[in-house]
């Protein structure tokens, strides 16, 4: 058995390699990647996460349990990420971002999201350890998120009233157009914020909202910081490739949001009843897999029938 530090080292090395490949090598392509290429790269990153899961399963102390917790947390975060990517697609459409500039925004968005997720995870776990009743607040947050996802109105992107956008527009010089992949440009000795940077801020503001839903969901499965952080980050890494795959298949997942809503409701219930009923990880994994597969199958049936 390896000690815990070995898993952190392996994870950091794998994550660094993924970042280098996905954000530098594949990111140098000047055109928007096609669906086939994006699906292949998404498959590579998913396979990498599964290999890390196998490493945990066979070589960690209590590896059987931790391995099941990892794959359960990973599936929750990945399914949430898929739904959130549709919001990013709306943002790009609202902001009229040229296709060739979208990979650059996603690159910095993913890097920033990794940092924010780690901060939120550490804060959430620490808060739970200091004051256990906060678990009930997390459960209520998940219920609200499930209701909003299943029955809420279709998400609209209000780029004019977003708090970050309003702040930047108030205190900074705004460039009226895109300047390639630049976030800032200098003109007449003045620094201007480009529309691409405003798009980046809009994406980050939504990612903060997403984190409020996703982190309590994975904490409902496990309290192990290694499992929580690694499953979360592996779900985020490679999202750029997944985005370009889904951008061409956006209409093929009509029922996915309902499946994710059921998952959020389930983990919220699991969290609220944690002191009364113990729902084991195997059952949780089975329910989550069923919700994801059922929503995808129903979506494909609907698409074929239409």
Spell 33-54 as b/e; 16+ CB within 10 A means b.
beeeebbebbeebbebbeebbe
pLDDT tier, 28 (very low <50, low <70, confident <90, very high otherwise): low
Whether the model clears a pTM of 0.95, i.e. scores above it, the answer is: no
**By C-alpha distance, which of 180, 182, 181, 178 is closest to 195?**
178
Q: How many CB atoms lie within 10 A of CB 175?
A: 20
Sign of the alpha-carbon dihedral angle for 11, 14, 17, 22: negative
Residue 271 has pLDDT above 70, yes or no: yes
DSSP bridge pairs for 186: 191
SS3 state of residue 177: coil
User: Given this model, what pLDDT does residue 69 score?
Assistant: 93
pLDDT tier, 155 (very low <50, low <70, confident <90, very high otherwise): low
Q: In the 8-state DSSP scheme, what is residue 276?
A: T
User: Given this model, what pLDDT does residue 56 score?
Assistant: 93
Could you read off the pLDDT of 182-226 as tens digits, one per residue? Answer: 888 888 888 888 888 888 888 888 888 778 777 888 888 888 889
Domain spans in the chain, listed from the N-terminal domain onward = 4-155+211-305
Contact 219, 69 (CB under 8 A): no
User: Given this model, what pLDDT does residue 25 score?
Assistant: 62
92 — phi, psi (to 5°)? Answer: -60, -35
Contact 106, 88 (CB under 8 A): yes
Residue 161 has pLDDT above 80, yes or no: no
Give the contacts of 275 (CB within 8 A, at least 6 positions apart): none
> Where is mean pLDDT largest: 7-11, 112-116, 253-257?
7-11
User: Given this model, what pLDDT does residue 48 score?
Assistant: 92
Please give the mean pLDDT across all residues of the chain. 82
Higher pLDDT, 90 or 263: 263
Output the six-digit token pair for 104: 């650059």
pLDDT tier, 74 (very low <50, low <70, confident <90, very high otherwise): very high
Q: Averaged over 150-175, what is the pLDDT?
A: 73
Output the six-digit token pair for 268: 């919220």
The position carrying tokens 């490949």 is 21
Spell 107-144 as b/e; 16+ CB within 10 A means b.
bbbbeebbebbeebbeebbeebeeeeeebeebbebbbe
Lowest-pLDDT choice from 62-76, 79-93, 100-114, 134-148: 79-93
d(CA 90, CA 95): 8
Residue 4 has pLDDT above 80, yes or no: yes
d(CA 223, CA 198): 36
Residue 27 has pLDDT above 60, yes or no: no
% of the chain exceeding 70 in pLDDT: 89
């Amino acid at each position: 058995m390896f000690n815990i530090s070995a898993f952190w080292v392996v994870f950091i090395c794998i994550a660094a390699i993924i970042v280098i490949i996905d954000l530098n090598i594949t990111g140098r392509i000047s055109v928007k990647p096609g669906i086939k290429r994006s699906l292949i790269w998404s498959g590579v990153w998913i396979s990498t996460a599964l290999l890390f899961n196998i490493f945990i399963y066979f070589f960690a102390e209590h590896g059987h349990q931790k391995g099941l917790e990892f794959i359960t947390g990973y599936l929750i975060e990945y399914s949430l990420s898929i739904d959130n990517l549709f919001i990013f697609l709306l943002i790009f459409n609202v902001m009229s971002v040229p296709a060739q500039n979208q990979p650059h925004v996603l690159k910095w968005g993913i890097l920033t999201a990794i940092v924010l997720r780690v901060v939120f995870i550490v804060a959430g776990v620490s808060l739970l350890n200091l004051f256990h009743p906060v678990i009930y607040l997390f459960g209520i947050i998940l219920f609200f998120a499930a209701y909003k996802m299943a029955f809420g109105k279709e998400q609209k992107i209000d780029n004019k009233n977003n708090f970050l956008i309003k702040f930047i527009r108030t205190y900074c010089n705004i460039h009226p157009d895109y300047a390639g992949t630049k976030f800032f440009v200098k003109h007449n000795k003045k620094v201007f914020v480009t529309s691409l940077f405003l798009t980046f801020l809009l994406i980050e503001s939504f990612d903060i909202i997403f984190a409020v839903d996703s982190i309590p969901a994975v904490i409902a499965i496990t309290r192990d910081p290694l499992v929580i952080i690694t499953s979360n980050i592996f779900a985020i890494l490679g999202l750029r490739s997944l985005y370009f795959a889904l951008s061409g298949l956006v209409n093929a997942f009509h029922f996915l949001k309902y499946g994710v809503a059921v998952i959020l409701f389930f983990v919220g219930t699991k969290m609220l009843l944690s002191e009364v009923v113990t729902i084991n990880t195997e059952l949780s994994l089975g329910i989550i897999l069923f919700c994801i597969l059922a929503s995808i199958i129903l979506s494909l049936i609907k698409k074929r029938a239409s």
